[in-house]
Amino acid sequence: MTGANKSIIKRDGQVVPYDRRRIANALFKAAASAGGFGIDEAERLSFVVEQRVAESYVGQTPTVEDLQDIVESVLMENGHIKTARAYIIYRHQRTEVREARRGAVEATDHIPYKRIYEVLRWNIEHGCESIEGINRIIEAGEYPGFVADCEERYTNECRSASQRVLDHGDGVRLIIVAGPSSSGKTTTTIKMEEQLSAHGKKLKAINVDHYFFDLEKHPKDEFGDYDYETPQALDIDLINEHLEQLLAGKMVRTPHYDFHTGKRTLNVHEMQLADDEILLMDCLHGLYSDMTRNVPDDQKFRLYIETLGQLRNEAGDFMRWTDHRLLRRMIRDSWSRSHDPLDTLTHWHYVRKSELQYIIPFIGNVDFLINSAMPYEFPVLKKKLSHIFPDAVKRYRDDFKRQDAFLRARRIMQFLEPLHTQADDTTIPSNSLFREFIGGSDHVY
- Same domain, yes or no, for 232 and 171? yes
One DSSP character per residue, 47-69 reads: HHHHHHHHHHSTTS--BHHHHHH
89 and 156 part of one domain: no
Torsion-angle region of 161 (φ positive above 0: left; ψ -120 to 50: alpha; else: beta):
alpha
- Final residue of a structural domain among 306, 324, 345: 306
Do 150 and 70 lie in one domain? The reply is no
Q: What secondary structure does DSSP assign to 73-120, as a single string?
A: HHHHHTT-HHHHHHHHHHHHHHHHHHHHHTT--S-STT--HHHHHHHH
What is the residue type of 175?
A: I
Report pTM.
Answer: 0.75
> Distance between CA atoms of 251 and 272, rounded to whole angstroms?
4
H/E segment holding residue 383? helix 377-385
CA–CA separation, 46 and 36 (whole Å): 15
* 302 alpha carbon, distance to own chain's centre: 18
CATH number at residue 211: 3.40.50.300
Own/partner contacts of 22-29, CB < 8 Å, gap of 24 or more, are: 23/49, 23/50, 23/67, 23/71, 26/71, 26/87, 26/90, 27/71, 27/75, 27/83, 27/87, 29/90
Q: Domain range for residue 96?
A: 1-103
Domain count, the chain: 2
Residues 76 and 157 in one domain: no
Per-residue pLDDT tens, the chain, 445 aa: give them.
544 457 888 765 677 888 888 888 888 888 888 878 888 898 999 999 998 888 888 777 888 878 888 888 888 889 888 888 788 776 766 655 444 443 332 334 455 567 888 898 899 999 999 999 999 999 999 999 999 999 999 999 999 999 999 998 888 999 999 999 999 999 998 998 899 999 999 999 999 999 999 988 876 766 777 777 788 889 999 999 999 999 999 999 999 999 889 899 999 999 999 988 999 998 888 988 899 999 999 999 999 999 999 999 998 889 999 999 999 999 999 998 888 999 999 999 888 888 888 887 777 778 999 999 999 999 999 999 999 999 999 999 988 789 899 999 999 999 999 999 998 899 999 999 999 999 999 988 7
DSSP 234: B
Q: Please, are residues 338 and 344 in contact by the beta-carbon 8 Å criterion?
A: no
